[in-house]
Chains A and B, each alone.
Chain A
Amino acid sequence: MSDHDSNGSNISKRNNSYSGCSKYSGQSSQGSYLPLQAEIVDIDVESPNTYLISLALPSGVDFSYKPGQFVMVSVFGLGECPISITSTPTRGSLQLCIRLAGRITNGITDSRIGDVLGIRGPCGNGFPLDRMKKDILIAGGGSGFATLRSLINYIVDRRDSFGKVAVAYGARTRQDLYFMQEYKGWQQAGIDVSVTVDIGDEGWKGNVGMVPALIDKFNLPAGSAAICGPSVMINAVASKLMARDFDHSDIYVSMERHMKCGVGKCEHCCIGPYHACQDGPVFTYDMVKEVL
């Protein structure tokens, strides 16, 4: 762009409030909408309509992220959509949990090992681990559990930094439950894990019912909470927690919104004055309860 600067007007000189052309902070100096190319190194099936995809980023790329952040994933020719990161930064590979929902997610899961996907990000704020209390309740419903797995495995890997931790998770049926092979490891790390399904069957010996009902099972001091799932579930869990003296500003909710740019410009993901892609996707309950 330097060839333009000599001819063009330089707005940064004229407008002090302007944050500065030279401070471009995209992940690559090439431009904020150019994605990185990440190679698919592994594909696993989590449920009949959900795949776990492991990606390898180009060598030398600094891609540090926090639990709760997301990436904009491209299938060239189909487009780009936001997908939450389901792996933890404390472990190696970048993993995305893709539920078949539309054109792009179908395109992602049609890919083969060795194919590349476009990745922009990480986007969003993630869970504020420095502000959260040590005792944490994690509640997830349906595919919303994907982003919470990042937080749970982060806690497992940094167990000494956290206190009492409980996980409440619900899905529609037994087949829809994600990450079943990991629950045992979480329990061995001293995390209280409770799982429920909306519709039980002969092969299911566990809880049948909604996630909020699981909250009563936990003997957890009033700490922080991380919730992701349908609005009805979020509200029901939050009201149960507030009845147990959780402060509404300690209840963190990861919000889902339609997104296009991921950098707070296109306005698709607005939640009142906030942009879910920049100010979120993690909000305190009091920030978003009006729109849930």
Chain B
Amino acid sequence: MKAFLPNESLIPWLKDLSSSLEVIAPVDVEGEAVYQTWKGQPPALVGNTLSSPIEVLMPRTEVLFRYVQDSGRYTFDEPKVPTRIVVGMKPCDLKAVAILDRIFGSEPTDHPYLAKRRSTLLVSLNCTDPGPWCFCAIMDSGPDAQEGFDLALTDIGSGYLAEAGSAAGVLLIKGCSSGLFLEADGSHEASRDILLENARSVMAEKYGDRSVGHLRRAIRSADWEYLGRQCLRCGGCSFICPVCHCFSIADLGVPDGERVRCRDTCLLSGFSRMTNGANPLGSIGERMRNWYLDKFEHLPERTGLIGCVGCGRCDEICLAQIDRWRLEVLDERSRQQRQQHK
């Protein structure tokens, strides 16, 4: 089912949704678009966000359960999961959800993730204006969402072309106050096709030389010791990646407290260190190599999907200016050239 949402109907529609669901949408926070619970402000739906909305499903920190002691025995209480709708999720992040579904959905399944996944509706926003680091078209995860969305929007200037991808998506159109959505016609779809084709060609021009095959060869031949020396070991690329899903678990509180899990990254030195001091990934070079191998070799083996969606966030955030696809460090001149090119 397709429909057209005029620009002036966007906020009324979000208000309509927020009367029955928690609406998560990107909003402007000190100049940065951040996914938050929407409270009536204008949504920042332009461009990609630095932090991924994947945090709705995989929060930085979350309580797995609370434990309460009584006479030496414990009772456990798992947190309730609210029903939510994420509006504005870009196709790259949607593809990341598909990858995480396979990771956390494979046996033995991860109940905390799946509980949130089941109670979250996804409204994606196709990418008509890719950012300077975006290359989703090369990774086959954009600029338009192919699957996994309940409703897909495309900004065609005068409003949004809305396409339902599930029964819930149909209800998002049909179930809201009358008059918000109008009938879509052929001109809306033609505008969408032109805009998406333009986005594809922009990315092809900038990043057409990137290929997974080349990167796999680069992983085998890269000087990991050199790259390790350049890496600042901040873990930023990992914490910001919508596919990275490493986590740690810890208890907070005695005798009553919470068992929490928080995002972690295999790039940090203590990640694989055992109690006896042995560390199978002892050097940063080994850890960087493991990071790449996991995304481009091991995850595809396990899930059938490559662990990169082309969002470009790791390129954007890398303080060491490592060209993540050539696996070399950019000097200042080539960095500036690249920026100008963009």
Contact = CB atoms under 8 A, between A and B. Distances in A.
A77 B98 CA distance: 34
B249 A116 contact: no
A11 B101 contact: yes
Interface string B67-85: 1010011101010010100
Interface in B258-280: 259, 261, 264, 266, 271-276, 278, 280
Interface stretch (A59-67, A126-134, A196-204, A255-263): A255-263
Given A76-B67, A258-B273, A34 B72 contact: no
B81 A26 contact: no
B297 interface: yes
B72 A114 contact: yes
Contacts of A272: 293, 298
Contacts of A261: 110, 247, 249
Interface in A239-276: 256-258, 260-261, 263-273
Given A80-B249, A116-B72, A271-B280, A9 B121 contact: yes
A221 to B, nearest CB: 34
A30 B76 contact: yes
A32 to B, nearest CB: 5
B116 to A, nearest CB: 9
Nearest to B165: A14
Contacts of B108: 25-26, 32, 263-264, 278
A115 interface: yes
B302 interface: yes
Contact of A8 (B83, B251, B254, B302): B83
B336 interface: no
Contacts of A105: 275
A278 B298 CA distance: 14
Contact of B111 (A8, A26, A101, A278): A26
Interface in A61-84: 74, 76-81
Interface string A98-110: 0001100100000
**Max count, chain A CB within 10 A of own CB: residue among B117, B168, B246, B275:** B275
A26 to B, nearest CB: 6
A116 B74 contact: yes
**Max count, chain B CB within 10 A of own CB: residue among A118, A265, A272:** A265
Contacts, number: 179
B64 interface: yes
A14 B147 contact: yes
A33 B251 contact: no
A7 interface: yes
B246 to A, nearest CB: 4
B131 interface: no
B103 A265 contact: yes
A31 B114 CA distance: 10
B105 A19 contact: yes
Contacts of A31: 64-65, 78, 111-112
A278 B110 CA distance: 14
Interface in B87-112: 98, 101-112
A20 interface: yes
B107 A77 contact: no
A15 B257 contact: no
B128 interface: no
A10 B266 CA distance: 31
15 contacts: A11-B118, A13-B166, A15-B102, A15-B148, A26-B109, A33-B111, A76-B254, A79-B250, A80-B251, A101-B276, A116-B74, A118-B74, A258-B271, A270-B298, A272-B298
Interface of A: 1, 4-5, 7-11, 13-15, 17-21, 23-26, 30-34, 37, 74, 76-81, 101-102, 105, 114-116, 118, 256-258, 260-261, 263-273, 278, 291
Given A77-B253, A257-B280, 15 more contacts: A4-B83, A11-B148, A31-B64, A31-B65, A32-B112, A258-B273, A260-B249, A261-B110, A265-B245, A265-B247, A266-B264, A267-B294, A268-B271, A268-B272, A273-B302
Interface of B: 21, 64-65, 67, 69, 72-74, 76, 78, 81, 83, 98, 101-112, 114-115, 117-122, 147-148, 150, 165-166, 168, 245-251, 253-255, 257, 259, 261, 264, 266, 271-276, 278, 280, 290, 293-294, 297-298, 301-302, 304
